[in-house]
């Protein structure tokens, strides 16, 4: 599988988002998915301390076992685990890192990411704690998520001559193109940041399995999602765009899943597409999805989803 870089890290262009681990998947199912990913050439696993109520990291660590040395693990901190475990104060950064190391069963985290900006803590203070973890060998690279272009620029300035963020993880897909208009992709190019899109398949809408006007397939994330959350994804606007994309995919005889992955990877700022998966079969489909798209196809996709 092709690889791209995030700082000093080399990651597969198809990664695995691990938010299903510990929630929809138990240890046995997690291990099957992880092994399928490794067999498919995927070496990038993205999790977070809050995923699966802290179980995702545990299940991922056990599933990797001795293969830990062969992969790049990304995890996150900062989102509320409970009433006392959250934020980006230096003391919490260090404590959260130790907790993640313990749960993952490893002595270092390859990419440690601030999950959400903490407006109560100066970014320079958070960066100082993260840079200290790098100096101690507990973290190799640091990244962030849910940050604006201005916040990325400010963080770069605050880092000074020490290790800066090397990546940002924001929502981006054919159905959510805000990083183009809000300046984040431009900031990534200027600051040499790798971009990691979350919800790259729009919670399953871009897999080709969800057909507008038809029942949602059982067992999918959308089918299990609370109605207050699924309402957005099943809105008339998004359903209409999915229908248009499906028609175009059928016209050019390229699966919508392939278009979704390949369009994202046509952007040089994107380092890896980290969709989740709940079965080995989904892993195989995701791993085989990326192709090189003609400029005319990219232009048409841009037009259809503008």
What dotted CATH number matches 3-203+256-289?
3.20.20.100
Give catalytic residues, as residue numbers: 51
Q: Are 114 and 141 in contact (CB under 8 A)?
A: no
Cα 194 to Cα 180: distance, rounded to the nearest angstrom: 14
Question: Cα separation of 44 and 36, whole Å?
Answer: 13
**Residue 218 has what pLDDT?**
78
What is the pLDDT tens value at each position of the chain, 306 positions in all?
999 999 999 999 999 999 999 999 999 999 999 999 999 999 999 999 999 999 999 999 999 999 999 999 999 999 999 999 999 999 999 999 999 999 999 999 999 999 999 999 999 999 999 999 999 999 999 999 999 999 999 999 999 999 999 999 999 999 999 999 999 999 999 999 999 999 999 999 999 988 888 888 877 778 778 888 888 888 999 999 999 999 999 999 999 999 999 999 999 999 999 999 999 999 999 999 999 999 999 999 999 999
CA dist., res. 275 & res. 20, Å (int): 10
φ, ψ at 20 (rounded to 5°): -80, -20
pTM of this prediction exceeds 0.85: yes
Pairing of strands 9-12, 3-6: antiparallel
**Separation of alpha carbons 74 and 249, rounded Å:** 33
Which phi-psi region, left, alpha or beta, contains residue 53 (left: φ > 0; alpha: ψ -120 to 50)?
left
How far apart are the C-alpha atoms of 298 and 278, rounded to whole Å? Answer: 29
Domain boundaries, the chain: 3-203+256-289
For 161, the token pair is 């001559």
Q: What pLDDT is attached to residue 1? A: 94
The runs of H, that is alpha helices, within the chain are 27-39, 55-64, 90-104, 123-135, 149-159, 178-181, 184-191, 221-224, 227-233, 236-252, 256-265, 280-288, 295-304
- Quick count: other Cβ atoms within 10 Å of Cβ 121? 18
φ and ψ of 171, to 5 deg: -70, 135
Largest CA distance in the chain: 55
Q: Can you give the pLDDT at residue 202?
A: 95
Tokens of 202: 């729009």
Adjacency order of strands within the sheet including 44-46: 16-17, 44-46, 72-77, 109-114, 139-145, 165-171, 194-198
pLDDT at 51: 98
HSE of 207 in the Cβ direction (CA atoms, 13 Å)? Answer: 22
């Amino acid at each position: 599988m092709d690889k791209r870089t995030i700082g000093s890290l080399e990651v597969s262009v198809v990664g695995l988002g691990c938010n299903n681990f510990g929630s929809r998947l138990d240890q046995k199912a997690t291990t099957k998915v992880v092994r399928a990913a490794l067999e498919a050439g995927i070496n990038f696993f993205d999790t977070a301390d809050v995923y699966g109520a802290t179980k995702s990291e545990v299940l991922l660590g056990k599933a990797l076992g001795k293969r830990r040395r062969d992969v790049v693990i990304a995890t996150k901190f900062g989102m509320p685990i409970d009433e006392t475990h959250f934020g980006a104060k230096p003391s919490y950064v260090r404590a959260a890192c130790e907790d993640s190391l313990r749960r993952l069963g490893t002595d270092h985290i390859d990419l440690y990411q601030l999950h959400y900006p903490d407006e109560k803590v100066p970014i320079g203070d958070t960066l100082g704690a993260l840079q200290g973890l790098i100096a101690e060998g507990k973290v190799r690279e640091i990244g962030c998520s849910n940050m604006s272009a201005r916040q990325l620029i400010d963080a770069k300035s605050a880092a000074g001559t020490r290790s800066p963020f090397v990546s940002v993880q924001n929502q981006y897909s054919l159905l959510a193109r805000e990083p183009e208009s809000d300046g984040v992709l431009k900031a990534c190019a200027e600051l040499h940041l790798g971009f990691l899109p979350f919800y790259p398949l729009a919670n399953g809408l871009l897999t080709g399995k969800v057909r507008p006007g038809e029942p949602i397939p059982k067992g999918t994330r959308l089918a299990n999602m609370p109605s207050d959350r699924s309402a957005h994804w099943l809105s008339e606007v998004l359903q209409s765009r999915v229908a248009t994309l499906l028609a175009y995919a059928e016209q050019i005889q390229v699966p919508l899943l392939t278009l979704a992955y390949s369009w994202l990877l046509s952007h040089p700022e994107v380092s890896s597409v980290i969709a989740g998966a709940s079965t080995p079969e989904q892993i195989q489909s995701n791993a085989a999805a990326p192709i090189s798209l003609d400029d005319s196809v990219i232009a048409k996709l841009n037009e259809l989803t503008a």
